[in-house]
Amino acid sequence: MKRTIFALASLAALSAGLPAVAQGAAEFYKSKTIRVMVGFNPGGSYDFYARLAAEMLKASIPGLDAAIVENRPGAGGLMATNFFYNQASKDGLVLAVLPDTIANTQLMEPTNSKWDVTRINYIGSFAPVNSAVLRRGAAPAKSIADMKKIEVVVGCSGKNAQSY
């Protein structure tokens, strides 16, 4: 009996050191669909990037059946971000093109952001974000120092926009 237990324990210890057989990409993606979620309506830049991602994924991943774009507009992308973080499948078959302001929103509006950006895996970006603030020539503030002293009226697309 002791020999059998020792033999089984030895076999278990030896097999633990063997490498696991990895499933190939073609086998994993066979007959599966990747969803690329975007938090905006069709036609804008985020939608364009999501469609570009879907095309590239379909062309690049062996065995992948389809890559589709799923538009989930609402609240400047916050609805999609909340859904992606809290409800989307965690199996790697759902990707998202999310607003570049989700970290700002998490800090500034914690009641509206039901996510933790430190727990979202960032893959990359399609385009650099170059924010700029412009002023009219007749504006009373001519410099950053002036802006700190003189009230300046600024317009932006919403509270979650970078310009806010």
CB 96 within 8 A of CB 80: yes
- The tens-digit pLDDT sequence of the chain (164 residues) is 444 343 334 333 433 444 444 568 889 899 999 999 999 999 999 999 999 999 999 999 999 999 999 999 998 899 999 999 999 999 999 999 998 889 888 988 889 889 999 999 988 888 777 666 677 888 888 887 887 898 887 777 776 666 66
Per-residue model confidence (pLDDT) at position 52: 95
Contacts of 77 (CB under 8 A, 6+ apart): 39, 40, 46, 98, 99, 101, 102, 160
Residue 155 CA, distance from chain mean position: 27
Per-residue model confidence (pLDDT) at position 132: 66
Closest CA to 161 of 48, 23, 65, 40: 40
Long-range contacts at 142-150 (CB < 8 A, ≥ 24 apart):
none
Per-residue model confidence (pLDDT) at position 162: 66
Per-residue model confidence (pLDDT) at position 22: 58
